[in-house]
Homo-oligomer: A and B are copies of this chain.
């Protein structure tokens, strides 16, 4: 399991190599990059992510444990970058390797959904008009 918060650019292929095992025929990866347009259509110049790093890593571990509890053959990576990112750069990678593709899809989907909901990470979008906005995930914060 590769579960990390990083500050340097993410090497997607290295992560996929880290989860690939000879017994795993399929890897599903989700790779989230900085989009050039916000949901409201405004041009995005860049992003800043910050995290409670210890809690975020603990949440990745919890997510991985939940995946393994139901799919023990899955090998999972969750890597999120923090700091300043430019348009097009990779912010997050979730990769799941499994002997069969159904588990790999299921694990990757669960992990990215869970990360968005429960990992203490925050995103500030910077627009071309100079404004900055902290953008919340849709489901976050509605649990308590």
Q: Kindly supply a per-residue 1/0 record for chain A positions 22-53, scoring 1 wherever the CB is within 8 Å of any chain B CB and 0 otherwise.
A: 11111111111111110000000000000000
Number of copies: 2
Chief secondary structure at chain A's binding surface: mixed
CA distance A52 to B11 in the complex (A): 35
B22, B26, B33, B88: the one contacting A30 at CB < 8 Å is B26
> Given that A30-B104, A99-B35 are known contacts, is A12 also in contact with B23, CB under 8 Å in the complex?
no
CB–CB A88/B22 < 8 A:
yes
CA distance A53 to B112 in the complex (A): 36
Shortest C-beta distance, A32 to chain B (Å), equals 5
Give chain B residues whose Cβ lies under 8 Å from the Cβ of A22. Answer: 35-37, 87-88
Q: Is residue A101 contacting chain B, with contact meaning CB distance below 8 A?
A: yes
Give the one of A13, A31, A35, A37 with max B CB within 10 A.
A31
> Given that A35-B22, A37-B23 are known contacts, is A30 also in contact with B87, CB under 8 Å in the complex?
no
Shortest C-beta distance, A16 to chain B (Å), equals 7
Q: Is residue A109 contacting chain B, with contact meaning CB distance below 8 A?
A: yes
